Amino acid sequence: MSLDTLNVDNKTAWRNRIIGLVLALALYAVDQWLKNYMQYTLDLEQVRNINVLPFFDLTWVPNYGVSLGMLTATSMEMRWMLVGLTGAIALVVAIWMLRERRLIDVIALAMILGGALGNIHDRYTVGFVIDFINIHFWGWTPFVFNLADAAITLGVLIILARSLFMGEKSAPSQGGAQAEESAENS
């Protein structure tokens, strides 16, 4: 267990978890609202593309795959397999989030969970994930994505950054603390 984790009391840890659940549900709700707005209010499914800024368009892209269109669901069986797989991953992330104590970790996992729920909802209800954010530069369009994708990506980046650059020290054991104390006293 890290020193950071030990310094978070139970009340704060539960407050952090509640913040995480609220954030995950809020991300899910905003993601679904945006997708519905794009589909039904802007009629983006019919219009296909709306230029907003020189580097930003709203572009309708039904994504039958997972991340960046990989693992494309070409059949109903594959669609339901992806719903099950992403649902299982979301469940693992939810359990992980509820076990975390530190706010930054809970927030990162909540972003992943909220995004996953948004994309699972799409795949379950319409058979594909609705992507519409198209950021492009000088004719180069890396990919079209949605708020859920952005939240998942940011959450994963936070976890990776914390793992790679914020190495955590283990709490000293009783024996280790006594050995250090006696070494200092000698």
The residues annotated with a catalytic role in the active site are: 131, 149
Q: Which of 91, 92, 90, 108 is nearest to 19 (CA)?
A: 108
How does strand 49-53 pair with strand 144-145? Answer: unpaired
- Contact between 90 and 116 under an 8 Å Cβ cutoff? The reply is yes
Could you tell me how many residues make up the chain? 186
Burial class of residue 71 in the structure, from the number of CB atoms within 10 Å of its CB (0-12 exposed, 13-18 middle, 19+ buried) = middle
Question: Distance between CA atoms of 123 and 186, rounded to whole angstroms?
Answer: 66
